Amino acid sequence: MRTNNSKVKNVIVSVYFILIVFAILLATVFSAFSHLSPNPLITFFLLASSFGALFFIVHFISKYFEYDSDGLKVVVTNKGLLLSDHFNYREHTVEFYKERLSGFKFNNYLFFKSLVLYIENSKGQVRKERFNVTLVSRKKRKYIRQSLTKMVKQNRKSEDS
């Protein structure tokens, strides 16, 4: 099964555009926020830190996700949505044989969703790999869950034999 969240790229570009327009708007109507503090420097830092926090949250959440379980290996990739065609920044790729998957877990936080894969190496040690699946639709997460559950069941059945 192959799936990704490439359709959300346009939404994230729109969100960044809105954030930039919002920053320009705040800069032009800066005097309207003078009631926050008598000192304009404090007001500026308050508005700039709020905008920076909002921008950082959007940057942290916006990641491209790709899942491919066709063949003998599973390939899971996370990378940044913007500039990922030109730069390989924020890329996290894991490729493993299906027999190595020992478990998985989806974590749902307030603004963030993650997929944790437990992968066994050749020495029998289990390592955790975490992926950002915040922008993956609920339907696609359901399909990924079904695929991973099938692999884990098959691996447990083969261990018992």
Q: What is the pLDDT of residues 94-121, one digit of tens each?
A: 999 999 999 999 999 988 999 999 999 9
| Residue boundaries of the structural domains of the chain | 1-161
pTM across the whole model? 0.81
Beta bridge partners of 129: 117
- What confidence tens digit (pLDDT) does each residue in 9-52 have? 788 888 888 888 888 887 777 766 666 667 777 777 877 888 88
